[in-house]
Amino acid sequence: MILGVAGGIAAYKACELLRLLTESGHDVRVVPTAAALRFVGAPTFAALSGHPVHDDVWADVHEVPHVRLGRRADLVVVAPATADILAKAAHGLADDLLTNTLLTVTGPVVFAPAMHTEMWENAATAANVATLRARGHVVIEPAVGRLTGADTGKGRLPSPAEIFAVVKRVLARGAAAPDLAGRHVVVTAGGTREPLDPVRYLGNRSSGKQGYAFARAAVARGARVTLIAANTSLDDPAGAAIVRVETTAELREATLKAAADADVVVMAAAPADFRPASYAPQKIKKADDGLAPVIELALNPDIAAEIGAGKRPGQLLVAFAAETNDAVENGRGKLFRKRADLIVVNEVGAGKAFGTAENAATVLGADGSTAELPLQDKESLADAVLDLVVERL
């Protein structure tokens, strides 16, 4: 594997990404630009990778390094990818070892951009990114946050751990093309909370892990991803635009807005079916008579059913059914009530689905199909479901 490092202030984060790659068993060659070496010295990259580090084509010239590295690499990840390196890659310029290697690589390429917001939003950068994506490369959307100096905005390098997660998904797919490139995928995740009083709420045990896994998998397949997160404590997936919500009403509003131009909507969140009929502005106290208060509940809207009823031609809806009994039978009923194209049915409860690293599911299709997905990590299960989605797009 090759880790390309371009000359941005975020180059120091490449050291953490390198550590994650090598500790997971990958043999990594670091190929920095000359500008990158002004931020992080070659000895640091050499020590962490176990390989010598060069930035030009004149070192070890008898081995023709720019050709050898590209041919042997099973993946190239460029992090950070500056506006300059994106432009050179898009236009086939080759004035150093990294840009030469990018012209000879035969495996997948992942770019993790980092730059100031104005540079990312510039028409030239947008055109270069579109060109690279059209060629089958994965260009991760940058994160929103603190940039250099006092500036804040879109352009921050995602966390190394989340870039690593995308790299793992791309590697798992091998030579497969990013088959969701040009598509907008909306994913909901987590569990909603319905306030009862200033300190209490009705909620559920959903951690958001499965929804986040869908977001990561969709990013690795080239999609533009909007992740609507309800009360999660997970790190933001690299490349996804994050919308945070708390209640089912907020989840509904955000999902309907994002779904307006979505190709795929994955409803992996666990919205509360009920909410308190009234909100107590002050904490509900214990009564002197020792009796518990009676809480009246009201029904929440069925967001998936609303999206299913208003689907555009060609738009796909993936619903979820978290069941404790008669899972497949109940899931089949929900499939048709919600007018979903696919429904992911899984059993939940103690040690099952919620909060775990693994999941198993039965995926039912509106076309009468059934796919059994055995217990596996949630990222792999998300990829398996997205395979079914791509077949229907």
Residue type, 264: V
- Residue 162, pLDDT above cutoff 80: yes
Asked if 218 contacts 386 with a C-beta cutoff of 8 angstroms, the reply is yes
- Residue 112, pLDDT above cutoff 60: yes
**Which domain covers residue 383, as residue numbers?**
184-392
- How far CA 316 is from CA of 155, 173, 219, in Å, comes to 30, 22, 17
Do 138 and 240 lie in a common domain? no
Instruction: Look at residue 328 in the predicted model and tell me its pLDDT.
Output: 87
Residue-wise pLDDT tens digits, 303-354: 999 999 999 999 999 999 988 788 888 899 999 999 999 999 988 765 556 7
Residue type, 387: D
Asked if 44 contacts 190 with a C-beta cutoff of 8 angstroms, the reply is no
Query: For residue 379, what pLDDT band results from cuts at 50, 70 and 90?
Result: very high
Do 270 and 235 lie in a common domain? yes
Residue type, 137: H
Considering the domain boundaries, does residue 106 fall inside one? Answer: yes
CATH number for 284: 3.40.50.10300
Do 167 and 194 lie in a common domain? no
Residue-wise pLDDT tens digits, 121-152: 999 999 999 999 999 999 999 999 888 877 88
Do 121 and 207 lie in a common domain? no
What angle in degrees, to the nearest 10, is found between the helix axes of 97-104 and 83-91? 40
Calculate the CA dihedral of residues 220, 221, 222, 227 and round it to 10 degrees: -70
**What is the Cα–Cα distance from 303 to 103, expressed in whole angstroms?**
46
Instruction: Look at residue 55 in the predicted model and tell me its pLDDT.
Output: 75
- Residue 199, pLDDT above cutoff 70: yes
Do 160 and 190 lie in a common domain? no
Do 45 and 12 lie in a common domain? yes
Residues forming the active site: 204
Q: Looking at 29-38, 101-110, 344-353, 379-388, which range is the least confident one?
A: 344-353
**What is the Cα–Cα distance from 99 to 148, expressed in whole angstroms?**
25
Residue-wise pLDDT tens digits, 224-235: 999 999 999 999
Instruction: Look at residue 177 in the predicted model and tell me its pLDDT.
Output: 82
Instruction: Look at residue 93 in the predicted model and tell me its pLDDT.
Output: 95
Asked if 346 contacts 353 with a C-beta cutoff of 8 angstroms, the reply is yes
CATH number for 136: 3.40.50.1950
- Residue 355, pLDDT above cutoff 80: no
Domain count, the chain: 2
Considering the domain boundaries, does residue 197 fall inside one? Answer: yes
The length of the chain, given as a count of residues: 393
Instruction: Look at residue 141 in the predicted model and tell me its pLDDT.
Output: 94
**What is the Cα–Cα distance from 374 to 360, expressed in whole angstroms?**
5
Considering the domain boundaries, does residue 179 fall inside one? Answer: no
Residue-wise pLDDT tens digits, 237-292: 999 999 999 999 999 999 999 999 999 999 999 999 999 999 999 998 888 887 88
Residue-wise pLDDT tens digits, 56-110: 665 665 555 556 777 788 899 999 999 999 999 999 999 999 999 999 998 899 9
Do 103 and 239 lie in a common domain? no
Instruction: Look at residue 61 in the predicted model and tell me its pLDDT.
Output: 53
**What is the Cα–Cα distance from 260 to 89, expressed in whole angstroms?**
33
Q: What is the DSSP letter of 210?
A: H
Listing DSSP states for 123-162 in one string gives HHHHHHHHHHHHTT-EEPPPEEEE-STT-EEEEEPPPHHH
Do 224 and 356 lie in a common domain? yes
- Given 172, 198, 214, the domain boundary residue is 172
Instruction: Look at residue 150 in the predicted model and tell me its pLDDT.
Output: 79
Structure token digits, residue 218: 């969709």
Structure token digits, residue 222: 């080239």
Do 103 and 193 lie in a common domain? no
